[in-house]
Amino acid sequence: MLWAGRSAVEIATAVRRGDVTATTVVEEHLHAISERDSKVGAFRRIRERAVEEAQAVQKRRDLADLPLAGVPVAIKDNLEVAGEATRGGSAVTADAPAPEDHVTVARLRAAGAVVVGLTNLPELGLVALGDSAYGIVRNPWNPARTAGGSSAGSAAAVAAGMVPLALGNDGMGSLRIPAACCGVLAVKPGTGLVPPPTDRWDGLTENGPLATTASDLALALSVLAADPALAESWRGGRRIEPRPPMLRSVWADDDEIWEPQPPQDSPEPFDLRVAYAPQPLPVGLPVDREFQAAVRGAAETLRQAGHTVVEHRAKLPAWLGPATIATWLTRAAASADGLDRRRLERRTRGLARAGRVLGALKLDGVRGRERWSGYGADQWFGDADVLITPALATVPPKAERWGERGFVRNALANIRYAPATGPWNMCGWPAITVPLATHSTALPIGVQIVAPPGGEPHLLGLAAQLQAAHPPVRPPGFAF
């Protein structure tokens, strides 16, 4: 049986039961990476030592209790993995190996996952594109298009079936944008749920998982958050405390253990007030009509699932866009601070220079961020439980060496195609991207669903219902 291409839930269940070993699973995924990554460029480093680490997982005394037993995972190369250099998409950063895992990586390993590789991102994770000194991450649906960014390699690796789960982070959409580009799921948790990366971008950035199924995404998020009640939240949009293991019955024979019936694989009905906004962007930022139609399609699917659905007609405040852009650029300047500017990419130098100028003029977006997070987001959101918007405004740009281009071309490319995600970093609210349809260009279309703080279970439950109506598919040439 081929295990590459299976879900994390399937793999972990099989390893716990003894149907397959963690070693076999990891070896098959390393083989899939060797066959597929030349078309995509998702990985900066492939970890052959993962086989030894899988063997160690197989020998663990608590194997039967590990939620991610033997599951191969890919880690974005701006999160520390013990014994590996953390390059952050740059040739300028230090090449010394990290002395210990980032806490999110440590949690994945403690749950039984095996790190098979480090994934590519643009230099310092500053843009929604996938090119760096280590190559260009290409979209598995169309290699002429970018996989998005900045968690480009993580999204492409999941979409191409090289891993069932990947870890990335999101400072202005860096999980949701590449997930939408590549047709996979990703969730940006709300502030405080999951430990953030070392470079927190002043609290804007959150670590989160990417996957192909809502059940995998919920399981990974539960591990990252150290909250087991999130693992099954996809079933009914609420936290579900895990049931204690069943004890052997005093009436059973030696080989018999009474167990309840396994839960159904389909999501359960629940009722939320769902708002949808096909075009929430201010004047001057158009949204592709097919992307708008996908938002309406998602709303209709959820209406048929039993939710109360209303249209949200208000545009995002005109002042929020400039504040978001200013915040992005000033954080770019802070990320580049201390590195040799002469060796940085032209794009990075331009973004950082713009950020320094804005900072010197006190146009750093701080007031806009405080206004939006303090009361603006809540007032604009209204009385809905969740809000559906486009994840992108148009199809991803071409997969080219954008890092060799200047500030203006990169800034315009990012703002034109991916302006819908940043506002929710500005206020720290959770948001998820769910693939829903296929564009006339044969690229996937994703929708973004946003919830107020604490709404991650709602997002996971809605993602499961959308997937039940619109089952996920692999890109052409990457099926198993």
Buried b (16+ CB within 10 A) or exposed e, 307-330: bebeebeeebbeebbebbbbbbbb
Strands (E), 120-256: 131-132, 135-136, 138-139, 142-146, 165-170, 185-188, 206-211
- Contact assessment for residue 356 and residue 335, using Cβ atoms and an 8 Å cutoff: no
Task: Tell me, yes or no, if 222 is annotated catalytic.
Answer: no
Select which of 150, 151, 233, 373 is catalytic: 150
Three-class SS state of 35: helix
End-to-end Cα separation, the chain, in angstroms = 11
Neighbours of 130 (CB within 10 A): 36
- Contact assessment for residue 104 and residue 195, using Cβ atoms and an 8 Å cutoff: yes
d(CA 453, CA 431) in angstroms, rounded, equals 10
d(CA 160, CA 142) in angstroms, rounded, equals 11
Residues near 247 by Cβ (< 8 Å), separated by ≥ 6?
none
Q: Which amino acid is at 425?
A: N
Task: Tell me, yes or no, if 440 is annotated catalytic.
Answer: no
Task: Tell me, yes or no, if 76 is annotated catalytic.
Answer: yes
Neighbours of 296 (CB within 10 A): 15
**Token pair for 32:** 């899939």
Angle, vertex CA 474, rays to CA 469 and CA 479, nearest 5: 130
**Cα dist from 69 to 61, 63, 173, whole Å:** 12, 7, 30
Neighbours of 453 (CB within 10 A): 14
Select which of 7, 76, 90, 222 is catalytic: 76
- Contact assessment for residue 410 and residue 397, using Cβ atoms and an 8 Å cutoff: no
DSSP 98: B
Select which of 7, 151, 174, 373 is catalytic: 174
Three-class SS state of 81: coil
**Token pair for 42:** 């998702």
Which residues are annotated as catalytic? 76, 150, 174
